[in-house]
Amino acid sequence: MHNNTNKKQISVDILDDEQEILTSLQDYMGDNFFVNCFSDSEVLLAKYKLGRTADILICDIHMPKMNGHKVIRKIRKAGFNLPIIMISGFAEKPDLITALSAQVDAFIEKPFSLGELESLVIDQYSIHEKYIAANKRAEKLKHMRTYYQYLLKRIGFVDSRDSRKKSAKYQEI
């Protein structure tokens, strides 16, 4: 699913309470992406409240203060629609179910290879970009249809479907 996505343009926020993980991900992914690491969920959420989100969020599940599920629910509730990849070293079936209900886009279990995570980031970014493009096309088509209907009414064109509905009403009387 890899396309010609320029990796350097993708910004990635990483939230994990383990400093070794953050350092490792920053070192590896920092060469290819714009990476911001957070060990405190409140600091990440404060950044998002200011409207400064990344293209992708990588979020651990089990953290002190606020777990990853709660962080993601807050992000989704605030209306942010970025792809979210959840990571965990101790994921159990209830964690996966909760992650899905919190609208997580992908899940990867620790330990994972850095290359695997990088591929997942690129894939999720690509899927999200296609989704945005499709929504823009659909919105544009909707506006075009409305405008064409307006123009047709102005020149006096009557939609034959409207005529059939009217004649069916008169036949009932």
Please report, for the chain, the start and end positions of each structural domain, with discontinuous segments joined by +.
7-131, 134-172
Which of 54-58, 101-105, 153-157 has maximum average pLDDT? 54-58
The answer to whether domain 7-131 has CATH 3.40.50.2300 is yes
Mean pLDDT of 91-102: 67
Query: Which residue carries 């886009």 as its tokens?
Result: 105
Confidence at residue 10, expressed as pLDDT on a 0 to 100 scale: 93
Q: What percent of the chain has pLDDT over 70?
A: 79
What's the pLDDT score for residue 38? 96
pTM of whole model > 0.85?
A: no
Band of the pLDDT at 28, cuts 50, 70, 90?
Answer: very high
Q: What does the pLDDT average to over 154-161? A: 74
Q: What is the pLDDT of residue 171?
A: 52
pLDDT band, very low/low/confident/very high, at 62 (cuts 50, 70, 90) = confident
The values of phi and psi at residue 142, to 5°, are: -60, -45
Q: What's the average model confidence in pLDDT over 96-116?
A: 80
